[in-house]
Amino acid sequence: MEAEELISKIKAMGLSSEIAEGILSDAKSEFSSGNYDEASKLAENAYTFALDVDQDGVINDEDFAPTIPNNYIYIGSFVMSVFLILLLLNAYKKWQQRKILIAEREKKYALEKMRLKKEIDEILK
C-alpha cells in the first residue's frame, strides 16, 4: 500500500491525516524538483506517519486509541489508581473515626445509664 492509499484509509477511519498529507505534499514537491532521493525519503516518512498517527509505536489498526499516545493513557491510569487509593484510604480513615465516635457515645451512654440506675436505687431505698 502506498502513502496516498494509507492516508485515505486513515481519513476514512476518522483519524487526523494533516501531518502525513503535509509530508506527502513535500515529497511530491521534491519529486517535481528532481530530488528523487529526498522525495523517496519523505514519501516513506509520510507512509510511516500515516501508519501510526499518534507516533506511539503501535500501528493504527492495532492501537485501541490511535489518536492518543499510549503513554498518556498509562500515566492517566496510574494517576487515577493513585487517586482511587487515596480516596479509599480517606474513606477508611473516616470510617475508623466514626467507629471510635460511636464507641465513645456507647460508653458515655452506658456510664449515664449506670449513674441513673444508682440514683434510682438510692431513691427507692
Length of the chain as a residue count: 125
Q: Could you state, in order of their start, the residue ranges of all structural domains in the chain?
A: 1-68, 69-125
Q: Give the list of residues 6+ apart from residue 71 with CB closer than 8 angstroms, or none.
A: 56
pLDDT reported for residue 105 = 96
pTM above the 0.85 mark? no
Composition of the chain by helix, strand, coil, percent to 5:
75, 0, 25
Q: In 10 A of CB 6, how many CB atoms? A: 20
pLDDT reported for residue 63 = 81
Low-confidence ranges of the chain (pLDDT < 70): 1
pLDDT reported for residue 1 = 53
Report the helix count and the strand count for the chain, using DSSP H and E: 4, 0
